[in-house]
């Protein structure tokens, strides 16, 4: 079996992907044509240029412009179903999709209608594409106390049935201004039984990773790629096996690494850290979940055994029911044995 065939056949889970960032080019163009004057291009060529990011703040600005196109609950459901369709074609069985309720709040969508759209989309994703969908509600970190309040209120008062986690994303440098509000929001979410899955160490140093561990009770961390500059943190992550959801192409496109060859993923694996492989905002970064596995093989030299272990890591780090985890790991093991 070729490595490409192995990757295609490998059962996968996607643990780090954002609702708005998962919108296909065709969907974004449809919405931008429906809402002229939004600032989002209406042709494929212009959209490609629009998705060429100078740095993370520029990416965040573009992301916000695309988000503003999502104005109706049915738009939310369309995005979820589109992602499920795309993942099914890549051999993915399960996704934990990051949703930012505050973004829907500011365009006037009621909590209940957003939740109904998410519930409907999760049911249809399973029935039509065989992809089980869970949700993580995340705070956009640059928007402060109101964003934290709205996010936690939605999570606790009107949650979708498949809500499993609570996170925070956005521009990490802005978070320190609202530290108490964010810690309080995570405390409330965790008390309600939600898992803590914040971003940390994507565009700032190890101090942000320590903050999400000590202040937010992180059970899994988005990115975490700057951990290697702090030996004490590396030792802690290795000892605790706290999962890090790594997204190499995303880090390249937003300027966190200069070249894919410079990405810290290989060293993270050498250090014995618990890594999962993910796509983050795939159409915006011209990637896919399967594409990230191909990149790991071709750029980082990982073979079938190493790729299978990354897939197992994703399954075990997920919030799937234990029986489903065991079944997926057994499928991965059977594929490795057959190959």
Catalytic sites, residue numbers: 202
CA-derived radius of gyration, the chain: 19
**3-class DSSP state for residue 39?**
coil
Q: Which residue has the tokens 């993910």?
A: 278
> Would you tell me how many other CB atoms lie within 10 Å of the CB of residue 323?
8
Instruction: Output the six-digit token pair for 25.
Output: 């080019």
Q: Which residue has the tokens 């405390």?
A: 187
Q: Are 100 and 64 in contact (CB under 8 A)?
A: no
Q: Which residue has the tokens 């995005």?
A: 79
Instruction: Annotate 290-301 with b (16+ C-beta within 10 A) or e (fewer).
Output: bbbbbbbbeeee
Sign of CA dihedral 31, 161, 170, 276: negative
Q: If we measure between CA atoms, which residue out of 197, 202, 168, 189 comes closest to residue 319?
A: 197
Q: How far apart are CA 144 and CA 182, in angstroms?
A: 8
């Amino acid at each position: 079996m070729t490595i490409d065939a192995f990757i295609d056949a490998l059962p996968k889970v996607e643990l780090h992907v954002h609702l708005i960032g998962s919108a296909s080019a065709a969907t974004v163009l449809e919405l931008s044509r429906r809402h002229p004057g939004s600032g989002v291009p209406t042709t494929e060529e212009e959209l490609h240029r629009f998705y060429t990011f100078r740095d993370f703040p520029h990416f965040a600005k573009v992301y916000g412009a695309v988000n503003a196109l999502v104005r109706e609950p049915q738009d939310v459901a369309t995005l979820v179903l589109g992602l499920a369709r795309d993942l099914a074609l890549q051999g993915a069985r399960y996704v934990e999709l990051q949703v930012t309720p505050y973004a829907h709040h500011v365009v006037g969508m009621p909590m209940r209608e957003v939740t109904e759209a998410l519930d409907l989309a999760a049911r249809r994703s399973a029935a039509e594409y065989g992809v089980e969908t869970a949700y993580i509600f995340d705070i956009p970190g640059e928007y402060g106390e109101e964003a934290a309040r709205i996010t936690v209120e939605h999570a606790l008062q009107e949650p979708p049935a498949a809500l499993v986690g609570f996170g925070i994303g956005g521009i990490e440098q802005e978070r320190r201004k609202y530290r108490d509000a964010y810690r309080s929001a995570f405390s409330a979410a965790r008390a309600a039984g939600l898992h803590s899955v914040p971003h940390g160490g994507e565009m700032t140093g190890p101090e942000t990773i320590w903050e999400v561990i000590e202040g937010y009770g992180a059970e899994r961390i988005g990115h975490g790629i700057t951990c290697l500059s702090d030996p004490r943190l590396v030792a802690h992550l290795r000892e605790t096996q706290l999962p890090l959801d790594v997204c190499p192409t995303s880090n390249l496109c937003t300027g966190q690494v200069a070249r894919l060859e410079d990405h810290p993923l290989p060293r993270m694996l050498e250090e014995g850290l618990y890594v999962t492989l993910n796509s983050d905002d795939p159409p915006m970064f011209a990637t896919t979940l399967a594409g990230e596995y191909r990149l790991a093989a071709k750029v980082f030299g990982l073979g079938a055994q190493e790729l299978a272990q990354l897939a197992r890591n994703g399954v075990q780090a997920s919030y799937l029911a234990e029986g489903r985890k065991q079944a997926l790991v057994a499928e991965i093991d059977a594929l490795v044995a057959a190959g």
